[in-house]
Each structure stands twice: as C-alpha cells, then as structure tokens.
Amino acid sequence: MAVCVAVIGKDNSPLYIGGIGNDPNADNELSRQWLVHTALDALEERLSTTNNSNTNSSTNTARADLRDLYLGLLYSTDTHKIYGYVTNTRIKLVLVTSSTSPGSNIRDAEVRTALRRLHALYADAICNPFHLPGDQITSLKFDKQVKSLMLNNV
C-alpha cells in the first residue's frame, strides 16, 4: 500500500508531503522525508539522462514531447518502493509504497494510474487563484483527496 505521497517543486523544494503511517510521531515523518528527499537523486539522474539522449539526436525531440511522465520505480529499499512521475513543468510526484505490509505486490499500472490521478489533483489544486506557484500546498481538500487516493487506489 502507498504510505507516502510527495509533490516536489521544480526547484526541488517540497510542496506537499502527505503520508498515512501507523504512528504519526516525528521519527516517522523524518524517515518519510528522508526517503522522499533521497528519491530526488534518482529522479534527477533519470531526468538528466533522458535530457542527454534527447539532445544527442534530434529525432528524439519529437519523442521527448510524447515522453511518458511516469518514470516507474526509482529505487527500492528493504522496506519501501519509491515511484516517480515528472510533469512537463518539472513538478515531481513521488509515491512511496511499503513492501513489507500485506498486499505489497502492486502492479506498475496501478502506480501509474495513481500518479496520473495525483497529477490531476495537483493541477486542480494550483488552479486556485489564491495559490501562488512555488508555495506549499496547504489546501485541505487536496490533502483529503490525496489521502483517499492513497487508501483506495494503491
């Protein structure tokens, strides 16, 4: 099941980190943030390699436009699996699933759908005219929707 979802801005600052954990204490939050933060390494690496291959051959530029926003499994630890998704405006979406809890066998397609839905939710959230791009997302509705996404979908 998904244990954490994060939205990270194009400057790599966290815009939203939401998690459903069993215990809400600070250690849990800390390890969750470490996990998401270190996932950025893998994300950045993926992005830079796709960019390089695009610049190398001009034929790839067309493919770049159609590039799948879903990056797949970024990396896995003994306890967690971390999936990445990058929007065209370089907003990074990260989804962390627990590989120890029951029902940990999540299919890739499910994660893809969940991240697509998260993308849609994010787009809705920043459509709010009172939201400033680059600010943290504080919308309660967004939070609620993301939490339900995590509980229901994945």
Partner 1 sequence: MTAQPSDSTEFPLEITLKPLALIGLSGLDTINNAIHKTIWDAFSNNRRPDRASVQFKLLHNTFEFPVIKPKRNSYEWYIPKGILKKNWIPKRVALIPAVVVIFYDMEWNDPQWNEKIIECASRVQSIRAAVEGHATRVAVVVVQSGLSPPPSEYMLGAERAQVLCSACEIQSKSLFVLPHSDHLMGYIVRLENAFYDIAQNYYHHETKNIKQHRDHLNKTTHQYLFVRHQFKLGFLNELKQDLSTAHKHYMHAYNNLLETRQVDTNIHEIRTVAGYINYKLCKLLFALNLARDAIAQLKSHIDRYKNRIGPTELLFEHYAWIARQYSAFGELFDEAISLGLPAIQSQHPGFYYQHAAQFTVMRRQAMRSVCCEALQYPPPPDPMEGIVEFYGQRPWRPGRLSADPHDPQKEQAAVLALQYNERVFNHSAMIISFLSSAITQFKTFHSPRMRKQLVVEMANEYYYCADYGKALTLLTHMLWDYRREKWWFLASHVLNRALQCAYLSAKIQDYIQLSIEALSKHIQVPNNDKDRIFRNIMSVLNLNIPAPEPDLPVSSQSRALELWQLAIEKEPLTIVIDMVNISSFLEVKTKFKQAKYRMDDTIEVELFVRLTFNTTLLAKAALLTIASKVETIEIPILDSGMTNVKLEGGKVRRFLCQFKTNPHDIGSDMSIKNVSFILDHERRRKIIMNFKVEDSKSLEPTVHPELLHFILSPKSDYEFDCIVPLNTTSITSRECRLSIEIENAVPALQGEWFPTTFTVVNNEESSVYDLAIALSLLSSPDNPNPDSVTELSYAHGESQPQPLKFQVGTVDEASAYTNLFYLKTNRTATATVQLRVSYKIDFQEMPKLECVKDFTTKITVIKPFEVTTNFVDMGFMPITKCFVDDPFIVMPEIKILSPWDLLILDTELETVECLKYGDDKKPSSCIRNLQVAERNVASDAICVQARYKPKDPPTRVGLYNIMWRRESSTSGPCVMSSSALSGIAIEECPISIEVNYPEVVELMTSVPLKCRLIGRTDVPIRLSLTVEGTDTYIFSGYKKFSVTVPPKDKFELCYNILPLVTGNTVPPRLKAVVLGDNTRQEIVTEIFEKHFPRNIFVMPKYK
Q: How far is the CB of 90 from partner 1 (least distance, A)?
A: 14
The CA distance from 8 to 15, in Å, is 5
Which strands, in side-by-side order, build the sheet including 92-98?
A: 14-19, 2-8, 92-98, 80-86, 70-76
Q: How far is the CB of 38 from partner 1 (least distance, A)?
A: 5
The CA distance from 7 to 137, in Å, is 9
Q: How far are the Cα atoms of 1, 10, 94 from residue 104, in angstroms, in the given order? A: 6, 30, 17
**Which helix (H) or strand (E) is 108 found in, with range?**
helix 108-126
Residue closer to partner 1 by CB (options 8, 115) is 8
Tokens of 149: 């996404």
Q: How far is the CB of 63 from partner 1 (least distance, A)?
A: 23
Residue closer to partner 1 by CB (options 44, 68) is 44
The residue ranges that bind partner 1 (CB under 8 A) are: 11-14, 17, 29-30, 33-34, 37-38, 40-42, 44-45, 75, 130, 132-135
Q: How far is the CB of 29 from partner 1 (least distance, A)?
A: 7
Residue closer to partner 1 by CB (options 8, 121) is 8
Residue closer to partner 1 by CB (options 138, 148) is 138
